[in-house]
Amino acid sequence: MIHTKSEELYKKALQLFPGGVNSPVRAFKSVGGTPIFIEKGKGSKIYDVDGNEYIDYCASWGPLILGHAHPDIINAAYQAMMNGTSFGAPTKLENQLAELILNHHPYIEKIRFVSSGTEAVMSAIRLARAYTGKNKIIKFEGCYHGHSDSLLVKAGSGLVTFGQSSSAGVPKEIVQHTIVLQLDDESAVQKAFEEFGNDIAAIIIEPIPANNGLLLQRKEYLQFLRDITKQHNCLLIFDEVISGFRVGFTGAAGYYNISPDIITFGKIIGGGFPVGAYAASKEIMRMVSPEGPMYQAGTLSGNPVAMAAGYAQLSRCLEDNFYTTLEEKTKTLIDGILQVKPEVLPFKIFSIGSIFWIAFAEREYIRSANEIDANSMNYFRTLYHALLKNGVYLGPSGYEVGFLSAVHTNEDIERTVLAFEKAFKEMLVES
């Protein structure tokens, strides 16, 4: 496989953008080598500028649950665009998408559209603080919630610590309001409430943590978070930017049947266009401007083209058996890969719905970030390039999950399993 044109474009990009990219993971730093520059996508496939074809399991990091350039989405976006691309005034399309969501999602009553997952979560935190009148938030190591200042925080060394910023440029005065805990540890949460209970506005969690491996949580643990937040009059925020509309139309809230106070959305909700949203009960959403005192706004919020695309995508997701078919397909892929996996490699695939994570691990389950062995990423690096060479594209990091879309075919799955078989063989020869 030749990547000459990608390499040339990357060289140019290095002069134009920090690290040659507009979002860090794209730079292939964790797997090494040169990023592949994509020319186009259709269905389950993407094609790079050198004409190579790949079966894609990155799906633009999750939004493309109908695959690339789905005709419904392209037509809807095109029709909307023909009427103009943005007005900064309300349109019917916003009502349509909101009604579609709220009518089929019993855990929320009102929604506000924004333009990214980061914006959705940042606003949800502000809303929790506005509603409770409290300052601190609890987040968990291994959950990613976008790049707003108060959430770019990693755990310190103690059981309950104020986090340390994981990015330069974030004042410690901001970070001091964020408490970072390990997942799957009730006692750490209890201790945080003993120490700071009066001032905790919210716990925020990815109920299906999928940004640092796939750290599937026990339902009892999520229920515990629900109960303890209620006891202390603070809010539970489910960040469903990935899991929303992915593990079912009602996301993780529906999957676990746990009702959080605020849910954040992104990715799938916009059909591949920049959309995010936060949603809650009418009572909580009453705080949001112009109805209430919590300010939040956006020039392109509720953008008509993005609303039309989101509506087209979510309408498909509501069709009978959409999610069961997707899950069955994912199971077929995983079973196939496990059948060709060599005995000698410590290899697992964790999955839920159509999300899967490849882990070189012995453990039967991995529920918190500190249970991931960083050295295992060396295996992933080798596997990654072997798969790429055999026409399978995954997100370029062993901490990232993969996604199936509704348009992956049985043939795609067979080809992928074959690619894994070849890749495993290459790994064994190299080791």
Catalytic residues: 144, 239, 267
Which parts of 56-115 interact with ligand PLP (CB under 6 A)? 61
Binding residue (CB under 6 A) for ligand PLP from 242, 268, 333, 337 = 242
Q: Reduce the DSSP state of residue 54 to 3 states and report it.
A: strand
Q: Which stretch binds ligand PLP (CB under 6 A): 34-42, 239-247, 394-402, 410-418?
A: 239-247
Phi then psi for residue 114, to 5 deg, are -130, -165
Strand partners for 94: none
Nearer to ligand PLP, 52 or 397 (CB): 397
DSSP letter string, 71-140: HHHHHHHHHHHHT-S--SS--HHHHHHHHHHHHT-TT-SEEEEESSHHHHHHHHHHHHHHHH---EEEEE
Binding residue (CB under 6 A) for ligand PLP from 37, 131, 144, 323 = 144
155 binds ligand PLP (CB under 6 A): no
262 binds ligand PLP (CB under 6 A): no
Per DSSP, 43 falls in state: B
User: Token digits for 353?
Assistant: 């719905």
269 binds ligand PLP (CB under 6 A): no
Q: How far apart are CA 352 and CA 327, in angstroms?
A: 8
User: Token digits for 297?
Assistant: 């706004």
134 binds ligand PLP (CB under 6 A): no
Q: Which residues does 222 contact at the CB level (< 8 Å), separation at least 6? A: 205, 207, 256, 258
Q: How far apart are CA 201 and CA 205, in angstroms?
A: 13
271 binds ligand PLP (CB under 6 A): no
Q: How far is the CB of 63 from ligand PLP (least distance, A)?
A: 9
270 binds ligand PLP (CB under 6 A): no
Q: How would you list the strands of the sheet with 136-140, edge to edge? A: 110-114, 276-280, 262-265, 235-239, 200-205, 136-140, 178-181, 161-162
139 binds ligand PLP (CB under 6 A): no
Nearer to ligand PLP, 35 or 142 (CB): 142
206 binds ligand PLP (CB under 6 A): yes
Give me the residue whose beta carbon is nearest to ligand PLP.
117
Nearer to ligand PLP, 118 or 301 (CB): 118
User: Residues in the site for ligand PLP, rule: CB under 6 A?
Assistant: 61, 116-118, 121, 144-146, 206, 211, 239, 241-242, 266, 276
